[in-house]
Every structure is written in structure tokens, then in C-alpha cells.
């Protein structure tokens, strides 16, 4: 079968021919429909993040997948079910994090990540997975189920953020998403759908006309241009924020988040920057965190519970959002277009097969 993979010392992703995987007894064989592309794929391709499977010089890419169960094996699925697979897998032996359904909280070394670190991903015509790592997706979302994984990342981060405010009464009214990439926009739509925020904002660095600014405004949010309003100045220019959701990878934005927060506010951090030394007013940052009961929570990955919440939420998103957000779905033969990134690209996917309702 065809797969999209990187090889050690290679020139970037290429279509390769690999053997179709054989499911174990407790695994399903899944026919891949579509696999989304995100920034992590770019980092894996560039060699900045992740790594090859043990004893292999090749990694099949892709961690945002939706597929159709072809053989259910001993799983609780049936052939024809539409599913999205989670990303983390035990590194050989299982461990307590997987056993309690929280692989997203496993420390480095206690997991592989399919398509990223130590295990092949989903950019192939078929993949296998234990049933416990597959989440049902409504058939109506078969074409969009590759958005379940990124939205689950937002759900997990919001869960941590809300938990951090759970020891007191917290009634957030304002939120800003830092970053107008696909994760930022999906999160903005999710926050809008949850109806908890009176006022939503999204920060980017784009000139109008711009398709992401259009989406921000169609979601009823306010676009903040970071070139005019740095993160720390958001309270002066707009208002202080009960929630800041950082999806930029900018460490300055992450540290300036504290200044952007309202008293008792929380910043959820999701970006994964490289080392970067710079000057900060650490005293004021520290003082502000303490005197105003503020919090910063870092968040990575997600588990089945977050996938389920994401699949559920996705069904409530308006159709126009998908039309504008998904700017390209490419056949395997044209996969390189899915990895291109310019100002008209928001979210892309590679299509391995078409969904046909049974």
C-alpha cells in the first residue's frame, strides 16, 4: 500500500510502498480516509521534533487521522464505523499512564507518538490500532474527522485551565486566542460554541484582506494585530482576559500572557518553541501572578476523553467554518501541496480514500 514517509538522511516526505499492516487480535484494521497536516509534521520533517521507530530508518508521517473500520477484530467497533485514532502508544511495555487512560500525562520515554516519535503514523492507505485508542466519529463528519485530533488538543488544554480555576467560583467572560493558525481558529470556534465567553479575541500578524481574519470576525470575535498591540498591551488596548489560549509557539507571547490576564485568569500554553534567551521583567511577572491569583498551565497531547469531546463539538460547528478552514484536501499523488504553507493556507489534509456510506 502507499504511505507518506520520511527516511533518515532523506530529502523530505515521499510516497513509499509498504506492506499493509496485519491487525493483532485486539486490533482493528482501519482504511484511512484523510490525514490532516499541522506544524508538528513540519517539525518532524525538519528533524526538530520526534524520531524514527526503533530499528527503523523510516517514519510514516501523520497523526491527525480519520478512517473507516475495515476489520473490527475483537474490538467493540464494527466494519464501516468511522473512527479517529489517538496519537500516543505504549513504548513496548504498557505503563500506568496508559492503563488509566491518561497517556497524555505520560513523561518523555513512557510513550511513542504515532507519526511523530518512535511509531509509524497514519499517512498510509491502512493502519491498525487497538480498539481502546480509536474514537467514534459520526459518519456525517467522515470528511472532517481529521480535525478531531487538533480539537482534542484544545479540549485537553482547556480542561487543565478550567481545573486550575476550580477551587473558587470562576465565571470567565473574555478570552483571547494567541495565534490564527488552524489550531487557534478551531479553538476560537470551540470557545464560541461553548457559549461561556461574552467577548472573544484572536491575535495574529496578518494584513487584511486575509482569510483567517474573515473567520475570526465571522465567529463574532475581534481580531488583534500583534504588530499594533503586543500581548502585554492587550489589557490597555482592549481588556484584560480571563482566559488566554497560546497557540503561537512564541515564548515572549507565553510570558506576556501573565500581563494580558485579568485577576484570577489562566493562560493555557500550547506552543513548542526552541530555546530563546531574552530579557524579561521577571519581578513584575512574578508579582502579578501572585497578587492576582493568576495561573499558567502547559498542555500537550490529549486522551480518548478529549477526542470524544472534540468529536462531539465538531458536529456542532457551522458548515461555513469548515468550508473556510479546510483550504485544501489533496490526493496522495499531490500530497506535497498539503505540506505547502502560505497566507491562503489554513488547514490541509491528504486523502487516502473516499468515504462511502454503507
Residues that bind its own copies (CB under 8 A): 100, 102, 104-105, 107-108, 159-160, 162-169, 251-252, 254-255, 262-264, 269-300
Q: Which residues are documented as binding site for substrate?
A: 40, 113, 149, 301
Distance CA 69, CA 165 (A): 39
Complex with its own copies: residue 261 or 338, whichever CB lies closer = 261
Residues linked to residue 177 through DSSP beta bridges, in sequence order? 202, 245
Torsion angle of the four alpha carbons 137, 142, 146, 151, in this order, in degrees rounded to the nearest 10: -50
Q: Which residues are documented as binding site for NADP(+)?
A: 180-183, 205-206, 270-272, 299-301
What is the nearest approach in angstroms of its own copies to the Cβ of residue 285?
Answer: 7
What is the nearest approach in angstroms of its own copies to the Cβ of residue 260?
Answer: 14
What is the nearest approach in angstroms of its own copies to the Cβ of residue 232?
Answer: 13
Complex with its own copies: residue 219 or 234, whichever CB lies closer = 234
Of 148, 161, 142, the C-alpha closest to 354 is: 142
What is the nearest approach in angstroms of its own copies to the Cβ of residue 61?
Answer: 20
Distance CA 202, CA 188 (A): 7
Distances (CA, A) of 182 to 12, 22, 107, 216, 238: 23, 34, 27, 11, 24
Complex with its own copies: residue 28 or 285, whichever CB lies closer = 285
What is the nearest approach in angstroms of its own copies to the Cβ of residue 142?
Answer: 30
What is the nearest approach in angstroms of its own copies to the Cβ of residue 181?
Answer: 15
Complex with its own copies: residue 96 or 331, whichever CB lies closer = 96
String of DSSP letters for 8-33: TT-SS-EEEE-PPPPP-TTEEEEEEE
What is the nearest approach in angstroms of its own copies to the Cβ of residue 147?
Answer: 21
What contacts 214, CB < 8 A, 6 or more positions away? 324
What is the nearest approach in angstroms of its own copies to the Cβ of residue 47?
Answer: 16
Q: Which residues are documented as binding site?
A: 40, 113, 149, 180-183, 205-206, 270-272, 299-301
Of 16, 107, 29, the C-alpha closest to 56 is: 16
Distances (CA, A) of 49 to 42, 118, 252, 358: 9, 11, 21, 39
Dmax over CA atoms of the chain, in Å, equals 62
Complex with its own copies: residue 132 or 281, whichever CB lies closer = 281
On whether the CB atoms of residues 343 and 210 are closer than 8 A, the answer is yes
Start-to-end C-alpha separation, the chain: 23
Complex with its own copies: residue 205 or 286, whichever CB lies closer = 286
Provide the 10 A C-beta neighbour count for residue 328: 16
Phi/psi at 56 (nearest 5 deg)? Answer: -140, 150
Quote the distance between the C-alpha of residue 224 and its chain's center.
22
Complex with its own copies: residue 147 or 247, whichever CB lies closer = 247
Q: Which letter does DSSP use for residue 74 in this model?
A: T
Complex with its own copies: residue 273 or 318, whichever CB lies closer = 273
Amino acid at each position: 500500500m502507499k504511505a507518506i514517509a520520511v527516511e533518515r538522511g532523506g530529502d523530505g516526505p515521499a510516497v513509499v510502498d509498504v506492506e499493509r499492516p496485519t491487525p493483532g487480535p485486539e486490533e482493528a484494521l482501519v482504511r484511512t480516509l484523510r490525514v490532516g497536516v499541522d506544524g508538528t509534521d513540519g517539525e518532524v520533517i525538519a528533524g526538530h521534533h520526534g524520531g524514527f521507530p526503533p530499528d527503523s530508518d523510516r517514519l510514516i508521517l501523520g497523526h491527525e487521522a480519520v478512517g473507516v473500520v475495515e476489520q473490527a477484530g475483537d474490538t467493540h467497533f464494527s466494519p464501516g464505523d468511522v473512527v479517529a485514532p489517538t496519537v500516543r502508544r505504549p513504548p513496548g511495555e504498557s505503563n500506568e499512564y496508559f492503563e488509566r487512560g491518561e497517556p497524555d500525562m505520560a513523561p518523555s520515554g513512557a510513550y511513542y507518538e504515532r507519526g511523530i516519535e518512535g511509531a509509524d503514523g497514519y499517512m498510509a492507505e491502512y493502519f491498525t490500532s487497538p480498539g481502546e485508542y480509536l474514537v467514534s466519529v459520526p459518519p456525517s463528519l467522515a470528511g472532517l474527522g481529521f480535525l478531531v485530533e487538533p480539537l482534542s488538543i484544545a479540549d485537553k488544554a482547556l480542561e487543565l485551565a478550567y481545573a486550575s480555576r476550580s477551587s473558587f467560583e470562576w465565571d470567565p467572560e473574555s478570552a483571547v486566542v494567541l495565534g490564527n493558525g488552524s489550531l487557534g481558529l478551531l479553538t476560537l470556534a470551540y470557545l464560541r460554541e461553548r457559549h461561556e465567553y461574552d467577548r472573544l479575541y484572536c491575535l495574529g500578524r496578518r494584513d487584511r484582506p486575509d482569510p483567517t481574519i474573515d473567520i475570526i470576525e465571522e465567529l463574532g470575535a475581534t481580531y488583534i494585530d500583534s504588530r499594533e498591540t503586543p500581548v502585554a498591551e492587550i489589557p490597555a488596548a482592549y481588556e484584560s482576559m480571563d482566559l488566554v489560549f497560546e497557540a503561537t509557539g512564541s515564548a515572549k507571547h507565553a510570558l506576556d500572557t501573565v500581563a494580558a490576564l485579568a485577576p484570577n485568569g489562566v493562560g493555557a500554553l500550547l506552543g513548542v518553541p526552541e530555546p530563546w534567551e531574552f530579557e524579561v521583567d521577571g519581578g513584575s511577572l512574578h508579582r502579578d501572578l501572585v497578587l492576582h491569583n493568576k495561573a499558567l498551565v502547559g498542555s500537550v497531547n490529549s486522551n480518548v476523553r478529549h477526542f470524544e469531546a472534540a468529536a462531539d463539538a465538531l458536529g456542532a460547528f457551522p458548515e461555513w467554518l469548515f468550508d473556510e478552514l479546510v483550504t485544501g484536501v489533496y490526493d496522495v499523488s499531490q500530497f506535497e501541496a498539503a505540506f505547502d504553507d502560505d497566507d491562503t493556507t489554513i488547514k490541509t489534509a491528504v486523502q487516502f480514500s473516499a468515504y462511502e456510506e454503507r
